[in-house]
Amino acid sequence: MAHKVVSWVIANAPADLCASEMLVAILLAEHAKEDGDRAYPSVATLMHETRLGERTVRLALKELLHRGVIEVESPATNKYPTTYLFPLYRGANTAPLDMTNPA
């Protein structure tokens, strides 16, 4: 369990995340290594741990990706779930650009 990553998420995640997004972020952080890398719980695991439905978990992950809270380190395969990392915890100095409204 990565207590430092969980504490970082609680202190630094965007304030306007909804409760389900924050819960998924915290549980994902619990699965990360202490350096913010390699969190790879399956959607089913996150569903079980958060008590949320599949659609809610998937939408929360999508929003966390969009907001730059997490990044995909390696995509899912037939054998393994998606591996996530926490880029800003790891020391990235910029947030991802919001490309929904490019200038």
**Each residue's pLDDT tens digit, 18-32:** 999 999 999 999 999
Count of structural domains, the chain:
1
Structural domain range at position 19? 3-85
Q: Which residues pair with 84 in a beta bridge?
A: 39, 72
Q: Is residue 96 part of a domain?
A: no
For residue 52, what is the domain's CATH number? 1.10.10.10
pLDDT of residue 90: 58
Give the predicted TM-score (pTM) of the model.
0.82
Q: What whole-number distance in Å separates Cα of residue 11 and Cα of residue 7?
A: 6
Q: Is residue 103 part of a domain?
A: no
pLDDT 10s digits, 59-73: 999 999 999 999 999
Q: Is residue 26 part of a domain?
A: yes
Q: Is residue 74 part of a domain?
A: yes
User: Average per-residue pLDDT in the chain?
Assistant: 86
Q: Tokens representing 66? A: 């969009």
Q: Is residue 97 part of a domain?
A: no
In DSSP notation, 23-88 reads: HHHHHHHHHS-TTS--B---HHHHHHHHT--HHHHHHHHHHHHHTTS-EEEE---SSS--EEE-TT
Q: Is the pLDDT confidence value at 4 over 50? A: yes
pLDDT of residue 1: 58
